[in-house]
Each structure stands twice: as structure tokens, then as C-alpha cells.
Amino acid sequence: TELLTALESAQSENERYKAALEYADGHLYTLVNTIGVVKARVRSHLMKAVTGIKQALKPEEELPGKSGN
């Protein structure tokens, strides 16, 4: 992997730490972005579900397209 390559080519312990931190930082950044996308999608699905439930609970005369008579 890219981490192993970086660690093997490191000339000192400090360079190994730096390579490991850079690798972890990149993956944490990706993880945080992924969590943000998933959170937005879950919120969107929940809002659609809530809207659907509210529509289902409305009395028939309030539903769009239905007349009261």
C-alpha cells in the first residue's frame, strides 16, 4: 500500500511518523466527508418519510385533488 511504501522509504523515525500521519489525515478527511454525505441522505429520506406519514394521517377532505363533497 501507499503507507507501506512511504514507511519503507523513510530515512528516519520522524519521517515514518510524518508518513503515517499524512496517510491517516487523508483517510480521516475522506471519512468525515462520507459521513456528511450519508447524514444529508438520511435526513432527506427521513423528511420524505415524515411528509408521507403526515399526508397519510390527514383526513380525506384535506388531501389534494379530493373534493369535500
pLDDT digits (tens, 9 = 90+) for 12-63: 988 888 889 999 998 999 999 999 999 999 999 999 999 999 999 988 766 5
Rg of the chain, C-alpha, whole Å: 26
> What does the domain layout of the chain look like in residue ranges?
2-55
Cα dihedral: 29, 32, 37, 39 (round 10): 180
Q: What is the pLDDT of residue 37?
A: 95
On whether the CB atoms of residues 55 and 48 are closer than 8 A, the answer is no
pLDDT for the residue 63: 58
Cβ atoms of residues 64 and 57 within 8 Å: no
Cell numbers found for residue 37: 454525505
Residue 36: the pLDDT is 95
Please tell me the predicted confidence (pLDDT) of residue 61: 67
Q: Model-level pTM greater than 0.75?
A: no
CB-based contacts of 22, cutoff 8 Å, min separation 6:
6
pLDDT of 10 higher than 80: yes
